[in-house]
Amino acid sequence: MSRTDPIRILSVDDHPVFREGLSTIITSQQDMALIAQAANALEAVTEFRRHRPDITLMDLRLPGTNGTDTLIAIRGEFPRARIIMLTTSDSDGEIQRAMRAGASGYILKSTPKNELLAVIRAVHGGKRHIPAEVAARIAEHLEPPEDWRRPDELGCTCRFCRELSTFLADPVRRTWALKSLQVNRSHVETEIRNCHCDVDTKTLRQGSPHSLFCTKNQASYERRARQRKKDLEHLSLFEEYCSQGRSPS
Ligand SMILES: [Zn+2]
């Protein structure tokens, strides 16, 4: 790409602050030019017709006609339009519909600036993109727990957290009750939450002091299994497109 031939970008988002941020990022790049912005579907279609951008960055959630339907409208007229969907959540069911409708990929709005720019260049170069998080999840080894040992990344080594560590490391025990003052129970509960221990907690309000009742479960495994299923569906859409060597229509 020469400097005289920048990637021409249309940005579609109903939040002015987000559009401004995007504008700052894009205009600071020598190989990119933000040629137009739109806040809704109608503006998006109008601006697309007027400018025929190389890349359109489209918010998945627009007021009224949403991003996917806007993509469908644009690609109905311009089947080669390269549109990257922007979303706040990679578990948004709408993503799948956008991918089916021919989106060139999607990125999370929380994506760091350099990755965002890399994705724009990659899609402009004819590639499709799924977020690194999704790719990483697909690559991750996923098996149901063979025993009840749980990962332990507790930073605290107080007496209560050491007890919790022992419980987490135990392959057989599924429950642990901490009968202690509220300040200690809250501390342990906070540690469990902050360190993402795969443990459910419940306060049993019997006796004095009360007890914090901790149960190991398969929730995180089941959650990851569900997410994996979704990720693989996304991936199969990509493989389908790539094997056809063309954009889906
Ligand atoms: Zn502690």
Ligand 1 geometric centre to CA of 155 (Å): 8
Ligand 1 geometric centre to CA of 191 (Å): 7
- The share of the chain scoring above pLDDT 70, in percent, equals 84
Ligand 1 geometric centre to CA of 68 (Å): 47
What pLDDT does 10 receive?
98
pLDDT band at 239 (very low <50, low <70, confident <90, very high): low
pLDDT band at 140 (very low <50, low <70, confident <90, very high): low
Distance CA 93, CA 89 (A): 9
C-alpha distances in Å from residue 11, one per residue of 37, 66, 138, 197? 5, 14, 30, 40
Q: Which residue has the higher pLDDT, 100 or 136?
A: 100
Say whether pLDDT at 90 is over 80. no
pLDDT band at 183 (very low <50, low <70, confident <90, very high): very high
Ligand 1 geometric centre to CA of 192 (Å): 10
Ligand 1 geometric centre to CA of 161 (Å): 4
pLDDT band at 245 (very low <50, low <70, confident <90, very high): very low
Domains, the chain: 7-133+230-244 (3.40.50.2300), 159-217 (3.30.1370)
Say whether pLDDT at 230 is over 50. yes
Ligand 1 geometric centre to CA of 157 (Å): 5
What pLDDT does 126 receive?
87
Mean pLDDT of the region 191-205: 89
Say whether pLDDT at 164 is over 70. yes
Ligand 1 geometric centre to CA of 117 (Å): 42
Say whether pLDDT at 38 is over 50. yes
Ligand 1 geometric centre to CA of 152 (Å): 13
The residues near 135 (Cβ < 8 Å, ≥ 6 apart) are none
Ligand 1 geometric centre to CA of 225 (Å): 31
Instruction: Compute the mean pLDDT over every residue in the chain, rounded to the nearest whole number.
Output: 85
Q: Contact 201/194 with Cβ under 8 angstroms? A: no
Ligand 1 geometric centre to CA of 176 (Å): 15
DSSP letter for each residue of 59-114 = ES--SSS-HHHHHHHHHHH-TT-EEEEEES-TT-THHHHHHHTT--EEEETT--HH
Cβ of 120: how many Cβ atoms within 10 Å?
25
CA 9, 127, 22 angle in degrees (round to 5)?
A: 30
Alpha carbon distance, N-terminus to C-terminus of the chain: 27
Q: Which residue has the tokens 């005289």?
A: 4
Ion ligand 1: residues, CB < 5 A: 156, 158, 161
Ligand 1 geometric centre to CA of 160 (Å): 6
Cβ of 138: how many Cβ atoms within 10 Å?
15
